[in-house]
Amino acid sequence: MIEIKSIYKTYKLKVYRGLIKKYLNVKALDDFSLTINDGEIVALVGRSGCGKSTVGNAILKLIELDFGQIIIDDIDITSLHGYSQIYPIRRYLQGVFQNTSSSLNPKMKVEDIIAEPMRNYNLYSKDRIKRLLERVEIPVSYESRYPSQLSGGQRQRVAIARALALNPKFLVLDEITSNLDVITTNNIIELLRDLNSENNTTMLFITHDLALADKFCSRKIVMKEGKKVEEVKKLRLDHVSDEYTKELINSSF
């Protein structure tokens, strides 16, 4: 179970006015709370810039929060600092991101991309790489290809295989289908659904696509300006109460 308790994050943005350097405070999270139960697939939706990725990055320990706690299976991960404290938990928390050209190293072969997390934890297994490729439906013969030799959907499948390499309990999926066509998106969603029912993997699905959130996720959290606006079962006008959510629905369908 993941308990996000009243988290706050303000980024400091460096800006130049001529030769003078200044810092602007950008508030990304403002008293945001959320509980995700084991095996749940929860969507985080809202306009661009409302703080969705910041929540995902905080869970993955890619950023430090200003205040608040994130408790995962009774461990307060916000109190963990430095490589030696974070290393044991990172294994169970994995992320897949929108932009595979920055998240997959273009100089590494598919095989090495998937092997990297295993090597980090001394769990390398050639056989597991093969099984992971089969699981995400990438031909095993593609293991010696580079990311540039794959389609967008195949790259995202490789990113998913890498995220699964250590059998994580929790996946943050951040706009992973934004660059994919409808058929490829549906195939990836099917794959994730199967993974969820096979392994009970808990997932936070970050998206601006309300229809996809509705199709894939049992619960939807609507965010605005770093806050939770409401939590709904269906993103349909007759199921929501907040005006901002209604506006969001009206502008997307």
The residues that touch ligand ADP, with contacts defined as CB under 6 A, are 11, 13, 26, 28, 46, 48-54
Residues 171 and 196: beta-carbon distance below 8 Å: no
Q: What is the DSSP string of 45-74?
A: E-STTSSHHHHHHHHTTSS--SEEEEEETT
Q: How far is the CB of 162 from ligand ADP (least distance, A)?
A: 21
User: Chain centroid to CA 101: how far?
Assistant: 16
Q: How far is the CB of 251 from ligand ADP (least distance, A)?
A: 15
Judged by beta carbon, residue 185 or residue 207, the one nearer ligand ADP is 207
Q: How far is the CB of 140 from ligand ADP (least distance, A)?
A: 35
Judged by beta carbon, residue 54 or residue 154, the one nearer ligand ADP is 54
Judged by beta carbon, residue 57 or residue 154, the one nearer ligand ADP is 57
Judged by beta carbon, residue 150 or residue 223, the one nearer ligand ADP is 223
Judged by beta carbon, residue 44 or residue 72, the one nearer ligand ADP is 44
Q: How far is the CB of 44 from ligand ADP (least distance, A)?
A: 8
**Helix, strand, or coil (residue 3):** strand
Contacts of residues 196-199 at CB distance under 8 Å and 24 or more positions apart, as own/partner, are: 196/39, 196/41, 199/167
Per-residue b/e over 165-174, b at no fewer than 16 CB within 10 Å? bbebbbbbbb
> What residues contact residue 178 under an 8 Å CB cut-off, 6+ apart?
98, 207, 208, 209
